[in-house]
Amino acid sequence: MGFLVKKRGFLAPLLLALLLVQRLSAVVSALNYTSYRQVSSMRLERIQRHLDKINKPPVMTIESPDGDIIDCVHKRKQPALDHPLLRNHKIQRNPPERPRVRTLKEDDKTKKSNVEEGVIRGSWQTWHRNGTRCPKGTVPIRRSTVHDVLRSKSLFDFGKKQAPISLARRKDAPDVVSANGHEHAIAYTGSSQEVYGAKATINVWDPSIQVVNEFSLSQIWVLSGSFDGSDLNSIEAGWQVSPELYGDSRPRLFTYWTSDSYQATGCYNLLCSGFVQTNSRVAIGAAISPVSSYTGNQYDISILIWKDPKIGNWWMSFGDNTLVGYWPAELFTHLANHATMVEWGGEVVNSRANGEHTSTQMGSGHFAEDGFGKASYFRNLEIVDSDNSLTAVQSISTLAENTNCYNIESSYSNEWGTHFYYGGPGSNPLCP
């Protein structure tokens, strides 16, 4: 212990602790962040050393109007390359092959009809409003702060997701509320398939969160391995509102991966080593804007995740085919081959803070049956098959643990292919 203190001296942590108490009052808004007022300087010291590891020295820094600090970090200095399996990793510039689009005609129709309607627009990222861009050869990384870590349960938990319920358990007892209080309204593919990727266009909203350690997210899961064992491999991306992770209630673009059922490996965004970012304009973990409004303009984001058939890395693109980066094949066991299931939809944490169901919203906070402009949607669900072709999902199953709290309704149309509305308000007389 002595050497820890000696390394940095007593003063720095002490000052930091003082600063923290001072800044807390400014941070508190609708949500209560006061629960971490007691912070030992030892803990601050540990946190600072962790931050020094994950926040890489920037070439340039951009201040987002929403308060985020975006560091432009040289590609070769990004956190991914700290991973023991990626020491000699050669960063890929482009995947050799993108998925072929089989339903080109359908896609043209989609674009045309959206333009005609004039009510759906692609959403982008808030920090771009600064006007400054990250220089070529760098990647934009949202800087983590002491506050970000202090809001998590522990340094170990920072950036990690608690294991959600197993799908096996969902099938056997779909009415059982999961141990961690995670609740879902999801669509999923059958488990007998070999899947090499998934795509969807996701409506973006800013659902309200009742307590700081709850979240509401809307995402794609690309899964392989067993839900019951400790070897589930998962790649996830979408938008989330997580006051714990980000200190505010804005919807943010996020990624997640794990190769051991959410235990020791993986994390959100670039909060651990693994995901290799290649894009200089998309910051993972940064806020998405604009956001849809009730009966008003609708905004959505498109996310495609697929496995490069030659090298085996799992790539992600955002919006109109903008490559964001990739999860190297080395990170995975089952996903080193292929995925066996894809899920699309919403997830919230219900911590029953007041002994009642949380009022944290999923999607827009409105039930599926309210439809366009009111309920949140996922449209044009597609999967990538073994031919590296992107095809419309033919049949999906849906699941929601308690449809009085959050529900889902899937449908098919020419313009939107396989799609669904989902979400809900949580707490209400039928969801006590």
Ligand X SMILES: *[C@@H]1O[C@H](CO)[C@@H](O)[C@H](O)[C@H]1NC(C)=O
Q: Distances from the Cα of 118 to the Cαs of 46, 114, 166, 225, in angstroms?
A: 51, 6, 40, 42
Closest distance of CB 2 from ligand X, Å: 34
Q: Distances from the Cα of 260 to the Cαs of 228, 256, 331, 337, 421, in angstroms?
A: 11, 13, 10, 16, 31
The Cα 378–Cα 200 span in angstroms is 6
Closest distance of CB 28 from ligand X, Å: 7
35 vs 40, beta carbon nearer ligand X: 35
How would you classify residue 67: left for phi > 0, otherwise alpha for psi between -120 and 50, otherwise beta? left
Closest distance of CB 59 from ligand X, Å: 12
Could you give the residue ranges of the DSSP H alpha helices within 141-210? 146-150, 167-172
Quick count: other Cβ atoms within 10 Å of Cβ 246?
27
Q: For the chain, report the end-to-end CA distance as a whole number of angstroms.
A: 49
34 vs 295, beta carbon nearer ligand X: 34
- Provide the 3-class DSSP secondary structure of residue 21: helix
Residue showing tokens 């930091």: 16
The Cα 174–Cα 171 span in angstroms is 6
Catalytic residue set: 236, 347
| Rg of the chain taking only CA atoms, in angstroms | 21
Closest distance of CB 34 from ligand X, Å: 4
The Cα 61–Cα 140 span in angstroms is 9
Helix or strand run (H / E) with residue 198:
strand 197-203
62 vs 146, beta carbon nearer ligand X: 62
Closest distance of CB 61 from ligand X, Å: 5
35 vs 293, beta carbon nearer ligand X: 35
The Cα 224–Cα 198 span in angstroms is 13
Closest distance of CB 353 from ligand X, Å: 10
Strand-pair partners of 100: 389
The Cα 34–Cα 282 span in angstroms is 32
2 vs 131, beta carbon nearer ligand X: 131
Closest distance of CB 211 from ligand X, Å: 10
52 vs 63, beta carbon nearer ligand X: 63
Binding-site ranges for ligand X (CB under 6 A): 32, 34-35, 61-63, 65, 130-132
131 vs 429, beta carbon nearer ligand X: 131
Tokens of 203: 């409506």
The Cα 297–Cα 129 span in angstroms is 20
Quick count: other Cβ atoms within 10 Å of Cβ 376?
29
